[in-house]
């Protein structure tokens, strides 16, 4: 059943019927993985209890409605779903959630690099406008065209062989960073720099090449949708079935297990308590697990995976503006702009037009770029982002009303934005990340190969629920 088609059948029809007794399952975390697992177990006749440290469901699916004016909202976390993510889209369809297209690229967006500002449409027509010193074979084509040439052999192999085609790719390239791959195929340093800037990869060049390749070959950044009304409508859609089974404000502090059951010790405002079950599913990110006591020690391989799995930083800075000047003045409807300024990437969310106002994703950064924003105070972030954004859109000074920011690497319930393999970590760690430890099972986007996406959380939640259902 551990295939996409098998998971789709579970979403539609439930877990396979298994003769056996009803199991009590403690699920730690009411993010997407925990909600999916608890829902699948409940539908199969089991007895799930969900412990959630915060006062909301969704985890890193987090829609902000404050401090904005009525009718406005913005995504602090997940903001888009590729239609190629069939599991996520299956739940969207199951709950009847309204969607709209998410515009990823816009030829009217700005590219501000090396002190020059151009529209993307002009750069696509004349790549030399960027003015960097590319090698002879790299001139006259766009960075996107160079990248497409580089990954086409991989895409062709996966198209011809399907999922088994990944085995040879992983053996050959798991120890490569993206930079090492580009150097190996002969890209100049100027081309690598331009790729990092234009593709929002500069701070990620030393992470695993396979992470980026999997997204590109899987068409993760094309044909995308957003949920009208806020992405948090997806996790909230599980509440009619699960609300009575969720304990909010319950932070896991210790885990114990025996041959017959699992005990989760948790802290609430009323004191320390415990929940017992036949099995447990832990969906907490690994940085959080570093601070949880396992009374019966985990295996060496699991402890190593928890210590070593790399999590990336991510920062979003959001501005409410009195009018949608990027649309009215600049003709930018959706998509984004790219800069080499501290804000790096700007996105133009398309929701809430009916209010007349708009919210800009004034800065979206990863890794070291994000950590630098995290070193500033919240007020300092707004001031500097305003200065940067005014280089692209001088109107922002007049139209700005309120701003806020979210630093996922500083979130005590996340410890990072998402798991992101470093070179060789897929081979060294992945099988140990997903492996159960006795009666303890693990889920979350980190327990999949779809890091940073709702799809990975869903897949892992269904896998863990299936493991327990089979154990019945």
Which CATH number characterizes residue 83's domain? 3.90.660.10
DSSP for 296-308, written as a single string: SPPPHHHHHHHHH
Report the distance separating Cα 223 and Cα 213, nearest Å.
17
pLDDT value at position 2?
A: 80
Are 390 and 382 in contact by the 8 Å Cβ rule? The answer is no
Residue 21 has pLDDT above 90, yes or no: no
10 Å CB burial of residue 240 (0-12, 13-18, 19+) is exposed
Tokens describing residue 277: 């079950």
152-191 tens-digit pLDDT = 999 999 999 998 999 999 999 999 999 999 999 999 999 9
Task: Verify that 384 and 238 share a domain, yes or no.
Answer: no
Task: Verify that 156 and 299 share a domain, yes or no.
Answer: no
pLDDT value at position 324?
A: 98
- CATH code of the domain in which 290 resides: 3.50.50.60
Are 234 and 247 in contact by the 8 Å Cβ rule? The answer is no
pTM of the model: 0.97
- Separation in Å, CA 424 to CA 175, 184, 316: 4, 17, 29
Nearest residue to 88 via CA among 463, 419, 457: 457
Report the distance separating Cα 146 and Cα 164, nearest Å.
26
Query: Which spans in 309-439 are helix H?
Result: 325-328, 367-374, 378-392, 396-399, 425-434
Residue 405: pLDDT band with limits 50, 70, 90: very high
114 in any annotated domain: no
Task: Verify that 368 and 379 share a domain, yes or no.
Answer: yes
Task: Verify that 321 and 365 share a domain, yes or no.
Answer: yes
Nearest residue to 252 via CA among 203, 226, 300, 285: 285
pLDDT value at position 350?
A: 97
Average pLDDT rounded to a whole number, residues 245-261: 98
- Lowest mean pLDDT segment, chosen from 85-99, 113-127, 226-240, 392-406: 113-127
Nearest residue to 238 via CA among 413, 50, 111: 50
Report the distance separating Cα 53 and Cα 235, nearest Å.
16
Report the distance separating Cα 289 and Cα 416, nearest Å.
12
- Separation in Å, CA 300 to CA 267, 400, 435, 456: 27, 52, 12, 25
Task: Verify that 252 and 290 share a domain, yes or no.
Answer: yes
pLDDT value at position 140?
A: 87
Task: Verify that 39 and 74 share a domain, yes or no.
Answer: no
- CATH code of the domain in which 204 resides: 1.10.405.10
Q: What is the largest CA-CA distance in the chain?
A: 69
In whole angstroms, what separates CA 292 from the centre of its chain? Answer: 23
Nearest residue to 50 via CA among 68, 60, 36: 36
pLDDT value at position 17?
A: 83
Residue 390 has pLDDT above 60, yes or no: yes
315-342 tens-digit pLDDT = 999 999 999 999 999 999 999 999 999 9
Calculate the dihedral angle through the C-alpha atoms of 359, 360, 365, 371, rounding to the nearest 10 degrees: -60
Task: Verify that 324 and 373 share a domain, yes or no.
Answer: yes
Report the distance separating Cα 357 and Cα 320, nearest Å.
7
Residue 67 has pLDDT above 70, yes or no: yes
Residue 380: pLDDT band with limits 50, 70, 90: very high
DSSP for 197-233, written as a single string: HHTT-GGGTTSBHHHHHHHHHTTTTSSEEEETT-TTH
Task: Verify that 406 and 315 share a domain, yes or no.
Answer: yes
420-431 tens-digit pLDDT = 999 999 999 999
Instruction: Give counts: helices (H), strands (E), the chain.
Output: 19, 23
3-state secondary structure of 44: coil
Report the distance separating Cα 359 and Cα 400, nearest Å.
10
246 in any annotated domain: yes
Mean pLDDT rounded to a whole number for the chain: 96
Residue 240 has pLDDT above 70, yes or no: yes
pLDDT value at position 136?
A: 87
DSSP for 78-106, written as a single string: ---EETT-HHHHHHHHHTT--EEEE----
Task: Verify that 49 and 188 share a domain, yes or no.
Answer: no
In whole angstroms, what separates CA 79 from the centre of its chain? Answer: 9
Tokens describing residue 366: 């990863």
Q: For 417, which DSSP code?
A: S
3-state secondary structure of 149: helix
3-state secondary structure of 115: coil
Q: State the total domains in the chain.
A: 3
Nearest residue to 453 via CA among 174, 155, 79, 200: 79
Report the distance separating Cα 273 and Cα 159, nearest Å.
51
Task: Verify that 199 and 329 share a domain, yes or no.
Answer: no
pLDDT value at position 1?
A: 57
161 in any annotated domain: yes
419 in any annotated domain: no
Q: How does 170-182 read in b/e, with b if 16+ C-beta sit within 10 Å?
A: beebbbbbbbebb
Task: Verify that 433 and 365 share a domain, yes or no.
Answer: no
Average pLDDT rounded to a whole number, residues 201-229: 96
**Sequence-separated (6 or more) residues with CB below 8 Å from residue 34:** 27, 28, 50, 52, 59, 281, 283, 443, 461
111 in any annotated domain: no
416 in any annotated domain: no
Are 107 and 121 in contact by the 8 Å Cβ rule? The answer is yes
299 in any annotated domain: yes
Tokens describing residue 269: 């405002």
94-141 tens-digit pLDDT = 999 999 999 999 999 999 999 999 999 999 898 888 867 888 889 888
* Structural domain of 351: 63-87+96-105+311-410
């Amino acid at each position: 059943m551990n295939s996409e088609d098998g998971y789709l059948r579970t979403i539609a029809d439930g877990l396979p019927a298994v003769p056996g007794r009803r199991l009590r399952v403690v699920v730690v975390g009411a993010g997407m993985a925990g909600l999916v697992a608890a829902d699948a177990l409940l539908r199969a006749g089991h007895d799930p209890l969900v412990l959630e440290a915060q006062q909301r469901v969704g985890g890193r699916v987090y829609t902000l409605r404050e401090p904005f004016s009525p009718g406005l909202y913005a995504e602090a976390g997940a903001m888009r779903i590729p239609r190629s993510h069939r599991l996520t889209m299956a739940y969207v369809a199951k709950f009847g959630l309204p969607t709209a297209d998410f515009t990823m690229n816009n030829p009217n967006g700005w590219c501000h690099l090396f002190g020059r500002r151009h529209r993307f449409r002009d750069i696509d027509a004349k790549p030399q406008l960027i003015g960097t010193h590319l090698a002879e074979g790299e001139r006259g084509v766009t960075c996107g065209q160079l990248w497409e040439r580089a990954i086409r052999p991989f895409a062709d192999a996966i198209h011809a062989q399907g999922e088994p085609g990944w085995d040879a790719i992983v053996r050959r390239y798991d120890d490569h960073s993206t930079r090492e791959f580009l150097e190996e195929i002969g890209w100049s340093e100027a081309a690598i720099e331009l790729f990092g800037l234009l593709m929002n990869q500069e701070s990620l060049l030393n992470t695993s090449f396979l992470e980026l390749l999997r997204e590109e070959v899987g068409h993760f950044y094309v044909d995308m949708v957003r949920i009208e009304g806020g992405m948090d409508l997806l996790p909230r859609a599980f509440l009619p079935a699960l609300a009575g089974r969720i304990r909010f404000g319950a932070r896991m502090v210790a885990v114990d297990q025996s041959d017959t059951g699992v005990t989760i010790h948790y802290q609430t405002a009323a004191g320390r308590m415990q929940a017992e079950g036949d099995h447990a599913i832990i969906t907490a990110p690994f940085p959080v697990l570093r601070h949880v006591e396992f009374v019966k020690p985990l295996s060496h391989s699991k402890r190593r995976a928890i210590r070593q799995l790399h999590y990336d930083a991510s920062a979003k800075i959001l501005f409410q503006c009195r009018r949608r000047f990027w649309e009215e003045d600049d003709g930018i409807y959706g998509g984004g702009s790219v800069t080499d300024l501290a804000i790096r990437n700007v996105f133009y969310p398309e929701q809430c037009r009916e209010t007349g106002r708009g919210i800009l994703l004034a800065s979206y950064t990863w890794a070291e770029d994000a950590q630098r924003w995290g070193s500033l105070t919240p007020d300092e972030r707004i001031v500097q982002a305003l200065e940067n954004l005014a280089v692209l859109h001088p109107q922002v000074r007049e139209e700005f009303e309120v701003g806020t920011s979210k630093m996922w690497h500083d979130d005590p319930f996340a410890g990072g934005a998402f798991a992101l393999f470093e070179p060789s970590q897929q081979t060294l760690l992945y099988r140990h990340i997903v492996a159960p430890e006795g009666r303890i099972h693990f889920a979350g986007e980190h327990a999949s190969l779809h890091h940073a996406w709702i799809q990975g959380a869903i897949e892992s939640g269904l896998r863990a629920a299936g493991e327990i259902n089979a154990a019945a």
